[in-house]
Amino acid sequence: MKKMLILGGGHRNIPLIQAFKELRFYVITLGNKDYYLGHNYSNEAIKIDFNDLNKAKQIIKNKNIDFIICGSGEESYINTVKISHELNIGNFNTLRTTNWFIINGILKSFVWIMIYLLQKGFILKII
């Protein structure tokens, strides 16, 4: 079973978690907040701060993570891009492009569009 690590575990990540579980991924969420509702939907929740990149990278190595994806926040997105490039896992924009998206408010619109498409089943058909 392929393993997906999501940097985040908040309620906005629940559709993402459910979609990857439907695709038979083992989903691990990362986040140090006990009240993050998404942790209840993942196969495994690791309660560390996803801003601690060294710990996150160690988890990726120790758990043999196949894919990483950001949660729905800006910090999560930036950290996912950094880790992706450092460990050569995933296919993300450069950090410069990522920061441009955030500064121009494009990220939030993109996240909500992706959540909508996931809920409608469109993304499942593509993957």
In the chain, the percentage of residues whose pLDDT exceeds 70 is 77
Single-letter code of the amino acid located at 79: N
- What is d(CA 62, CA 60) in angstroms, rounded to the nearest whole number? 6
Domains of the chain: 3-126 (3.40.50.20)
Q: Which two tokens mark 91?
A: 């296919």
pTM equals 0.75
Please state, in angstroms and rounded to a whole number, the distance separating the CA atoms of residues 79 and 84.
8
Distance CA 34, CA 111 (A): 23
Condensed to tens digits (0 to 9), the pLDDT of residues 61-106 reads 999 999 998 887 778 888 888 888 888 887 666 767 766 666 666 6
